[in-house]
Structures are given as structure tokens and as C-alpha cells.
Structure 1
Amino acid sequence: MATMDKTTLIELLSAAFVLYVIGLYVYRMYFDRLSHIPGPKLAAASLWYEFYYDVVLKGQYTYKIRELHEEYGPIIRINPYEIHINDPEYIDTVYPGSSPRTMKYQWSQKMFGQRTDFFATESHELHRIRRGALAHYFSVQSLRRLEPGIQSQLDKLVSRLQGLKGSGTAINLLDVFASLTGDIIGQYAFARPYGFLEDPDFSPHWHALMIDVSMNGHILKQFGWMLPMMRAMPEWMVKIMTPQMLTLIGFQAAFRKQVIEVKERIARSEKSSGQTTIFYDVLTNPQVRPQEKETDHLQDEAQTIIGAGTVTTGHILAITTFYIINNPSIHEKLENELSSLMRENDGKPKWAQLEQLPYLSAIIQEGLRIGYGISHRLQRLFPDTVIEYNGYAIPTMTPVSMTSVLIHDNPSLFPDPRTFNPDRFLKQPGLKKYIFSFGKGSRQCAGLNLAYAELYLVLAAVFAPGRFKWELYETDITDVETKHDFMNTSPKLDSKGIRVLVN
């Protein structure tokens, strides 16, 4: 009898589960507030659809979304809760300035395990406070003053490259530029370059670490409970269950240690090195709220600032350098434009001078376009506003997203989009407004100005006339083209990098 009762209970629970699934499906298809938005039924029914493309197939949902737009049109429902729009003319509506209010989609912000940093902050008002505590450090005026610090790290890179001339040693540009940008942002944030440029192989572990952290993102988004659980477990257990999570946990622990070190230095009444540093100044600034000085919060901010300050700009530099080397006519035109400015400034022109060069500026815009920057979609929620698109009303608090990959590859804007062609920005300067590499609106990347400073100064330094002769080494377009979206871009997974010889 007991066995029969147990069997009956299992059957009842199974039947209840099946009825629940059927009921949920029917509700989401026909009664949900987004049921009027076109798109595949499986995507509307369950997050497992996205899970399959991004976790099982490793960062492929962005490309599936592009296919879905071709089938269903410019507005589609890509999961039970989210709408995606593919229309470059709608960018300013989805990503407005200060008004109307927008919020972040908390479900998607779990990708890198931060909880309180300004990038992940959901609330419009709290985001303004947290971003305001840091924003002036990344202003154009601040960066002009700190340009000598950027130049000092760039001088180290140039010296390293000169030492490699004619050696026949192949170097990976992804490692080279990640080392450079990592040392620059480390110096700016903590007054302590990490020494990546001094490593004989340009610290390949640093770039690999960044990519490993990115690859975890889709799992963390789908299973938000996983990282807090892993943090509470012994390291040996995490290594057995999900070894890839150790990378992220260790990454966060390192930033926590750095924040604590700054706090201890302040407690000992030690002054900073005289150089403006983000975290020392935040902690000693009486205008910053105590909540923004808590260790947990600053750990998250450090992860965002160091991670974002390394990966995106480093990738764009490597990709742009590849295309310049691979196109002799572009290379020659760039050297000709740089020639007089380099000669007049002892090979070290200022960022403000380089910004005036039209061809270098066009190359940078094309590098940002073809390299995408952030490849994942960026969601916004409108708490007060019902926005409309193409006859569809999108309810308040609905995540609405767009994606750089789809905007930058739009053939109506950019004919032959996968061809590197800086001339398109010379002929149509207005195309710059469609560059989505740093996001748009009130939540645009805070480090945009630093990224531009690095792009101008680094490309001018490595392509200064007569300084280096570059040669690609066992590298082709398949090592450059983005094949996986891990928030950060990734080429084919078996790529050995963008490798070059320096002569």
C-alpha cells in the first residue's frame, strides 16, 4: 500500500508539472503582455532556447537573433521577457540621455558576477550617484593631464618592440595590447602598473584570464545562484564541480585585495604617489557617500574598471593593427599622414594633435565598427514610458535591446560590411553616430575617452613612419573575425591569436 501511495504521489506530481508547463506555454503565447510581438514560439516560451545557443553552442545567440530578424522583421521577442530591435535609426530611443529614465536588466547583469558596480546598477537614480563618483576621472580634461602616464607605458611597449626587431620572434597582438591597456588602467586605478609589459611573452595569462572570465558569463546569467554558492564552497570542491569558476573567483579576490591595500595605506595616513588614482581619491573624497566606499562595492567597481579598461580597447587595437598590416595601401596612407606630425614632435605627438588627423580618425572608427567592441546586446527598461516601434507598443519595464554586431554589419549603412574600409567615414562623417562599441545614452561606457586616447596614441606609435616593419605570422582573417559572443568578442576558439613579426 505504501509503495502504491508513493507511486501515486509521483504520478500526481508529474501530472501537475506537465499541466504547469502547458499552462505556462499557453499563457506566454496568448495572454502575456508581450504575446503580440513576433518571434519564434520556443524563444517566447522558455529561457532554455537562449541557453542552448549561448551555453551549449558557446555564444551563438547573437547570430541566431540576426537570423530571426531576417525571418520575423525588425522587432522580435527573443525570450519570455525581452524584446530585440534591429533598426539603427532607433538607437537614440532605446538609449536616451538623461530622459526618459531607463534601468538596467538585472537578469543580464549577472554575467560577470558583479553586484553593486555602476555598470550593473539597475536603478536610474543610484546609477547616477555611483557613476558620478567616478566619472570625472575619465573626463577629457582629466585624461589630458594624465596623458604622460599613458605615454610612459607606451614608451615601454615601443622599447620592447624595438628590442624584438629582426629577432624572428612571433608575438600575439592580443597579448601585447592587453598587457599595455592592463598596465595603463592599473596605473590609473591603483598607481601600480601590473608589469604585464615587462613579461618576455607579454603576459599571455592576462589576456587568457579575461577571456576565461567572459566565457563564464552566459552560465552565470542563466544560473544566478551559482557564483554565490561557489564563493561559499571550499576551493577544492569548486575545482571538482566547476573549475572554470575558480578563474572568476580568483579574479575578484585579487581586486578585493587591492582595494583593502589602498584602505590600509589611507589608515596609516600614507599619501598617494602624487599621481591621481581612482580608488585612493574615491576613498579620501568627503563628497562620496560611505556606501560607495565599502569594500564589497569597490571590489565590483575595480573588476569593471580594470576588466573593461583592458579587454575592449586591447581587442580593437589588435584587430585594427591586423587590418592595417594586411592592407598595404591603408598602411601607406596612414604613414604619410603621420609623417610630418611625428617629425615635428620627436615621434610623440599629443592626443589632441592626433585627433585632428582625418585618416587616422577614420581608421579608428572603422576599427571600432568592424571589431564591434562589446558584442552582446545591451538591455534597457523604461519604468515610466511605453515606447512604440513599427506599430507595436512595448509595455513599461520590458527589457529592450540592440546589438553592435547587427548595427555595425548593416549593409544599408555600411556596404560590404566585413571589408575594412576607412574611406567610408571620410566620405560620410555622419556614420560615426551609428558606432555602438561603447553603448549609447546615459549609460554609455564611462571609459570611452580613455579608450579613444589609447587608440590614437598607440596606433600612431606603432605605425610611425620608419619605426617598424610588420609582417603577419601564420595569421589570417579567421583569427580576427568574431565567431563567439561572450559579451567580449572572440574569434574561433582554436585560434592561436593575431601573430606578427617585427622588423
Structure 2
Amino acid sequence: MGPEDFTFGYATSWTGLVGYLVVAKVLYDVVLAIYRIWFHPLSKFPGSKLAVATYWHETFYDVFRGHQYIWKIKEMHDQYGPMIRTNPDDVHIHDPDFFDELYGLKLDKWAWWTRGFAVPTAGGMTVEHEVHRKRRGALNPFFSKASIVSNMPVIQEKLAVMCQRLDDIVKSGNRQVLDLEAIYLALTTDVLTQCSYGWTYDYIHNPEWAMTWKLVNTGGRASAAIVRSFPLIGAIVRSMPLSVAIKLVPPVGFMKSWMQRVGIQVQKIKSDPDMMRMIRTEKRRKDTIFAQILSSDLPESELSDQRLIDEGVLIATAGSETTAWAITITTYHIMKNPQVRKRMREELRQVEIPKGDTVAPWTSLEHLPYLTAVIKEGVRMAGGMLSRLPRICDKDIVYKEWVIPAGTPIAMTPHLVLIDEKVFPEPRKFIPERWLDQMDEGKTTSRLDKYIVAFGKGSRNCIGMHLAYAQLYMSLAAMVQRYDLEMFETDDSDATPTRDLFTAGVKLDSKGIRVLVHGKDEKA
């Protein structure tokens, strides 16, 4: 027997082994699919057999078809009813009247779902309900309405810079095309980081506003489904040194540099004995989220550098993008509807702007019924969260004739509530009056308010909701009172959520909501 015979025999045996492994894997998957469809504890629940047989069904729509599973879920609800299985292990409900009931319970998050995000110890990504409750409790005072009111000078300051830059463009007479979301993202990011960190990236002065940050943020959100489906990819990318990540995966490199800067801030605070003593003894309002957490009664294990970094990064990134998008979409529809803009201007004349400020304060604006209706409709149209929100309860949950076993991931999707035709007729039309029709005389509350689920509900709703609303009211009031915007090669397809990037994503070939800015027409 020569060397050639040995090599051939070795190669043949190795090929055979690979073949056996492939066959074994196929058989395993077939048996597993049979179990999931006919013998799983959820086998009696309705839904697509393909969806419940394999996670590859969801991966196909979200990874290979461009984040489209939300629409497949809607299609399955249309076919099977309000209760369906969306993958082998979870169930999904579409019933706007059940949203409050479900998310009002004490619920854990689903670890499989949260692994798509790179900040596992942040409060918003915490799996266990009790751990989240303590982490959230440490931060609640910082984001209370009273705290946000005290931060209104920061919003006024950033708005003044934004408006001055827009004024300069108007005066120049140049037809400069602007990306509206990049402008608002510069504003919201600077406001949120100033309030949260005590420093900003100063996007509001950047010649391109926050355009780079917009692209990075979009790329980061788009990667969540990929990392959830292929966690090894996420682990490899996260382990890259900063210098390598910047060259190979720029969005990841940008985020790593952001986290690095947050880490420096955390270490600076914790290494200063005098500062730490002040943080833990003084009763005054804390200046940063890090000081707020360090002054809380959380145990030492909750005060590590990495946990503070995770918390700081999630709050600043998630809070700035969602708010900017909501302001952008609301502005788009206001400027597209001259009658809406005219009515807003008439109402805004009732409110006095304090001397030296750019706009009236939130505390005055929030009492205006029509402005409030416009904002509610804008938040609805912006889309909220397009991803379903899986939760796990340690007790059975009853929905109509179904009993969902304890420990089962159960989800609803906020966006599907916001576009439900039974609640919001003609859901793709911007109709602020739908909120006024539902108001009691002289109030800004509406019977439709229970269906505004863009910020979530229950104990895990958006912690930055008050700050988001303050910026919505003040930004929109300033924009409407000062400018007219002309849409540039932009239409509804650029403003309609079509992709699930956790929050709203629009068509892939959209160039953004682009505008030309003009001074306000005094006759309008």
C-alpha cells in the first residue's frame, strides 16, 4: 500500500464522516420540526407550520429579506386570528385592548431576544423583572417630569443654536438641501448627552449636523436581527480591537469609540474621592446619570464600570434616535399640510415666549389642545417600535379561550397597534383631528390615549418619555413659528415605516427626508 492509497483512504473516510454528520443534522432538524409542530406545549395554538417548525423562517424574513418579519406577522394574524405562534417557542397577540393588560404584569424579557443588542447590563436590556425594577428605580428620579423641567434651559440652548444655523441658511438665499432627521438628531443627541453625561459631541455645530451618527445608528439597529440569528458574528465583531473595528466595520468602531469615551467619564468620576463623597452625601439633584446611579442604594455589584457604560450608551443612543425620528415625521406632515400648519400658528400665538428664549417652555405648550393632537398623531405615524416585545411570565396568562403556559415568551407589536384600522381609521393618513374628536371639552387628554403605545407600557416603558415629549413640543413649536419647509425629492415613501430595525426603518433606497428651508410666510 503506497502513500497515495493511504491519502485516498483517509480522504474517503473523512468525506464519509462529513456525510454522516450532514445526514444526522438533517434528521435531527426533521424530528425537531415534527416535535415543534405536533407535540410542543404550544402545538394547539394557531399559526404557520413553517414558522413554528424552525427559527430559520424568522431569520429569512428579517436577515435575508430586509427586516420584513413584522409584515409576515401581520399577514399571519390576518389568516389565523389575534393569537398566533411566530416561531417555535413564542406566541404573538394582536389586540389593541389587551396591550395594557399584558404589559402591566410583572414580566421578564426573553434572553434570546435581548442578545441582539450589545449592552446586556443596561436596564432596558435586563432580563429579570426584579433586577430591572431596581436598576430602573435608581434612574427614575433623573428622568422624572420635575427633573426634565429643570433641564429645559439645555433644550432652549440647543434649539437656539439650531435655529440660528437655519436662520443663516435662510438669509444666505442658498438652496441648501438638508436632511431633516440629521438636524433633529443633532439636537436630540446633544440634549440627551448634555443632560445625561455632562458633555456632548456638539453635533448641533457640526457642518453635516448628525449625518454620520444617523448612518451609524441605522446600521447598528439593522444588525440586531443578524446578531440574534447568528450570535457568533456578534461575539467576533464585539471582540475586535477598536483600531480594527474602525477599519473593517465602521459603525461598530464608532460605537466602540463612543463606549470608550463614556468609560473614561465613568472612571474619572469613580476615581475622584471628593466627587464620590459629594455624590453619595449631597441631596441635590445629580448632574449625570452616572452620579445618579452611584448615589443610589444599588449594591456594589451593580456599580461596575461596564454596567454604567452599558446604561449610559443605551439611554443616549436609543433616546436620541427615537425622539429625532418622531420630530422628523411630525414636521414632515405639518409642512405637507398647510391647514395644519396654519391652525398650529394660530394656537401658538396664545403662548408668550419668555424674553431671551427661542420658544415657549414645554410646561406652557403641553396645554395647547391642537399642538398636543398634532404630536400624538405624529408619534403614531412615526411608528414607535416595529419589533415585537417578547415577555415571559412565571404564571399562566389567559387571553380569551387560550391559556398561555407560564414561561412562554409572549409578545405584542406596538406598531401594529398604531396602524390598526379599527382603532385608527385610515391609519396612513395624518389626521390630528381624530384626537380632538375624542377629547372632553377643554382637555388635552383623549379616549384614544390608551392606544399610544409608541413608548411601551407598564414598568418597562421608555424611561426618557418626558424628555422626548419636552423636545417634541418645543422643537415643533419653534420650527412652525419660524420656518416653512419645502420638500426636496421626498414623498410619503421616505416617511413610512417599512422595515423593522427595532424602531422604524424606511425603504432601503430612501435618501432621507430632505428639505429646503425658508423663512415663515406671514400670510400662512
TM-score range, shorter chain: over 0.9
Taking the TM superposition and a 5 Å limit, the aligned residue runs for 1:45-124 are: 45-96=53-104, 100-124=105-129
Deviation of 1:192 (Å): 1.0
User: Distance in 2 between the 1:92 and 1:42 partners?
Assistant: 30
Which position in structure 2 is the counterpart of 1:479?
Answer: 494
Q: Given the two structures, how large is their TM-score scaled by the length of structure 2?
A: 0.89
Deviation of 1:312 (Å): 0.3
SS of aligned partner of 2:301 = helix
Which position in structure 2 is the counterpart of 1:43?
Answer: 51
Q: Report the AA paired with residue 174 of structure 1.
A: E
Structure with max Cα Rg: 2
Q: 1:356 to 1:28 in 2, by over 3 A?
A: same
Deviation per CA, 1:148-181: give whole Å up to 9, x if none: 1221111111211111113321211100000000
Deviation of 1:19 (Å): 2.4
User: Distance in 1 between the 2:285 and 2:214 partners?
Assistant: 26
Matched, 1:353 2:352: no
Mean alpha-carbon deviation: is it higher for 158-167 or for 252-261?
252-261
Which position in structure 1 is the counterpart of 2:470?
Answer: 453
1:211 to 207, 218, 237: 218
User: Distance in 2 between the 1:350 and 1:11 partners?
Assistant: 70
Matched, 1:186 2:203: no
Matched, 1:314 2:324: yes
SS of aligned partner of 1:494 = coil
Check whether the contact 1:134–1:278 (CA below 8 A) recurs between aligned residues: no
User: Distance in 2 between the 1:73 and 1:85 partners?
Assistant: 9
Which position in structure 1 is the counterpart of 2:393?
Answer: 382
Taking the TM superposition and a 5 Å limit, the aligned residue runs for 1:152-301 are: 152-165=157-170, 166-234=173-241, 245-264=252-271, 276-282=286-292, 284-285=294-295, 287-301=297-311
Q: Report the AA paired with residue 343 of structure 2.
A: K
Taking the TM superposition and a 5 Å limit, the aligned residue runs for 1:382-421 are: 382-383=393-394, 385-421=395-431
Q: 1:243 to 1:331 in 2, by over 3 A?
A: closer
Mean alpha-carbon deviation: is it higher for 149-158 or for 178-187?
149-158
Deviation of 1:103 (Å): 0.4
Unmatched 5+ stretches in structure 2:
1-8, 439-445, 519-524
Taking the TM superposition and a 5 Å limit, the aligned residue runs for 1:417-496 are: 417-428=427-438, 429-464=446-481, 467-496=482-511
Deviation of 1:275 (Å): 8.2
Deviation of 1:266 (Å): 5.8
SS of aligned partner of 2:87 = coil
User: Distance in 2 between the 1:59 and 1:202 partners?
Assistant: 27
Which position in structure 1 is the counterpart of 2:514?
Answer: 499
Check whether the contact 2:216–2:251 (CA below 8 A) recurs between aligned residues: no
User: Distance in 1 between the 2:161 and 2:11 partners?
Assistant: 75
1:33 to 25, 41, 48: 41
User: Distance in 1 between the 2:48 and 2:404 partners?
Assistant: 18
User: Distance in 1 between the 2:506 and 2:273 partners?
Assistant: 43
Deviation of 1:280 (Å): 4.3
Matched, 1:18 2:18: no
Q: 1:10 to 1:438 in 2, by over 3 A?
A: same
Q: 1:321 to 1:142 in 2, by over 3 A?
A: same
1:369 to 357, 380, 383: 380
Identity value in percent: 35
Check whether the contact 1:171–1:499 (CA below 8 A) recurs between aligned residues: yes
User: Distance in 1 between the 2:273 and 2:494 partners?
Assistant: 46
Deviation of 1:487 (Å): 0.6
Check whether the contact 1:213–1:247 (CA below 8 A) recurs between aligned residues: no
Q: 1:294 to 1:364 in 2, by over 3 A?
A: same
Check whether the contact 1:174–1:318 (CA below 8 A) recurs between aligned residues: yes
User: Distance in 2 between the 1:178 and 1:491 partners?
Assistant: 16
SS of aligned partner of 2:516 = strand
Q: 1:210 to 1:257 in 2, by over 3 A?
A: farther
User: Distance in 1 between the 2:206 and 2:59 partners?
Assistant: 38
Greater length-normalized contact order (CA 8 Å, ≥ 6 residues apart): 1
Check whether the contact 2:156–2:358 (CA below 8 A) recurs between aligned residues: no
Give the aligned CA root-mean-square deviation in angstroms: 2.3
Deviation of 1:359 (Å): 0.3
Q: Report the AA paired with residue 156 of structure 1.
A: V
Q: 1:17 to 1:177 in 2, by over 3 A?
A: same
Which position in structure 1 is the counterpart of 2:522?
Answer: none
Q: Report the AA paired with residue 38 of structure 1.
A: P
User: Distance in 1 between the 2:67 and 2:28 partners?
Assistant: 30
User: Distance in 1 between the 2:476 and 2:250 partners?
Assistant: 38
SS of aligned partner of 1:200 = coil
1:133 to 133, 138, 142: 138
Deviation per CA, 1:300-321: give whole Å up to 9, x if none: 1011110122100000000100
Matched, 1:328 2:345: no
Check whether the contact 1:388–1:394 (CA below 8 A) recurs between aligned residues: yes
Q: Report the AA paired with residue 68 of structure 2.
A: Q
Deviation per CA, 1:176-221: give whole Å up to 9, x if none: 0000000001101111122100012213111111111111111111
Check whether the contact 2:294–2:303 (CA below 8 A) recurs between aligned residues: no
Deviation per CA, 1:378-422: give whole Å up to 9, x if none: 111111x21122311111111111112211111111000000000
User: Distance in 2 between the 1:443 and 1:390 partners?
Assistant: 24
Q: Report the AA paired with residue 75 of structure 1.
A: M
Q: Report the AA paired with residue 178 of structure 1.
A: L
SS of aligned partner of 1:340 = coil
Q: 1:487 to 1:84 in 2, by over 3 A?
A: same
Q: Given the two structures, how large is their TM-score scaled by the length of structure 1?
A: 0.93
Deviation of 1:10 (Å): 4.2
Q: 1:3 to 1:328 in 2, by over 3 A?
A: closer
Q: Report the AA paired with residue 323 of structure 2.
A: T
